[in-house]
Homo-oligomer: A and B are copies of this chain.
């Protein structure tokens, strides 16, 4: 059966927990106020990720990225994110995740440019693999995932948001988009196909060629986000929306998610080494390194 085959191949995460998951369904009940009072915090390694769980049986974890100053995606941070998601995936008391930022004004600045500048080919290869692995974990997660985009979300930040099941973006001056092309960097096929799946082929092609950063209303119009909310309400709205997801029997929700996402996950898995080799060779070209150098200089001057 293709469905099962695809899901089976698309990794450990999809379906493995689904079989017995319907048993662990429970009611959501508490008001946001009671949740606030009951919540307990614990920090992951290095204080870069805060995971907030509720002491009731709601089944939701809020994952707050807290890597100063802009949640840039370094190799180590992506490995931490991957481990954090894996733990939640294996925690039978957790059924849904809200992904958000603890750093005001920024969801994530995307890939850490310093990790691609004047590094060995081995390093950039390991860096890219950590991105792939983190992305396959997030996009292929059995958990219901909602992005509470509470700040700017360019490049890899946009990728993370688009990989969740639902996106709520804060109103205001924030922008979101795959803008890599401005630095001379080409978004790989899986960034591109994810954007096509999210926004449609026409909008994706244009936005990828122009590296467009969208304001919240624009992002909503093209389907890059599903909802807009005032900044201080984004996480509450995410919680409300996630509750809808958790009303669905887990096994049926997870198999359905796998059918929608399995092909793209499978495609990256099949081409993972090629994709790494391509990135590593591309990013270490003289012209690209010079472009990154100029960009890093311009950041220092700010």
**A residues with CB within 8 A of B:** 1-4, 22, 165-166, 180-189, 192, 196-206, 208-211, 223, 226, 244-245, 248-249, 251-253, 255-257, 259-261, 271, 274-275, 277-278, 287, 291
Kindly identify which residue among B166, B184, B204, B210 contacts A260, using a CB–CB cutoff of 8 Å. B204
Main secondary structure of the interface of A (DSSP, over half): helix
Copies in the complex: 3
A63 to chain B, nearest CB (A): 20
Q: Which residue of B1, B245, B253, B257 contacts A278 across the interface (Cβ within 8 Å)?
A: B1
Question: Shortest beta-carbon distance, A120 to chain B, in Å?
Answer: 20
A175 CB to nearest B CB, Å: 16
User: Complex Cα distance A233/B2, Å?
Assistant: 43
Q: 10 A-B residue contacts at CB 8 Å?
A: A1-B278, A3-B186, A3-B189, A181-B252, A192-B260, A200-B202, A205-B257, A205-B260, A206-B226, A209-B257
**A259 close to B3 (CB less than 8 A):** no
A250 to B72, alpha carbons, bound, how many Å? 27
Residues on B with C-beta less than 8 A from A249 are: 181-182, 184, 291
CA distance A160 to B252 in the complex (A): 22
Q: Is the CB of A278 within 8 A of B3?
A: yes
> A198 CA to B201 CA in the complex, in Å?
7
| Interface pair A206/B248, CB less than 8 Å apart | no
Q: Please, which residues of chain B bring their CB within 8 A of the CB of A165?
A: 206, 209
In the bound complex, residues from chain B placing their C-beta under 8 Å from that of A274 are 1-2
Contacts known (A185-B252, A187-B256, A204-B260); A209 close to B245, Cβ less than 8 A: yes
